[in-house]
Amino acid sequence: MELAANVAANTMLAAEVLNEKEEKVLELIAEGMSNRQIGSALFLAEGTVKNYVSRIMDKLHANTRTELAMKMTKVTIPPAPKLP
């Protein structure tokens, strides 16, 4: 769950923060799970998962599940320390 929060912050999309359930759904999307699989894992109906996915896509300004997964796997590399 911390990863989803970091992704939102790292991509400067934190204006609309994901709630805990949305973060978990986003993590499972990034793992390649279908709505049905996510529903089974989180004990949610498939339609409920679809609603979560739609809200997440709106909040993170993504058009596809692939974009969401890419946002989840984006890693920010800190700058190298300056050498003396």
End-to-end CA distance of the chain: 38
Geometric angle at alpha carbon 76, from 60 and 4, rounded to 5°: 40
CATH of the domain at 69: 1.10.10.10
Query: Is 81 within a domain?
Result: no
Domain count, the chain: 1
pLDDT one-digit tens code per residue, 20-78: 899 899 989 988 899 999 999 999 999 999 999 999 999 888 899 888 877 776 644 45
* Global pTM exceeds 0.75: no
Which residues form the domain of 31? 2-73
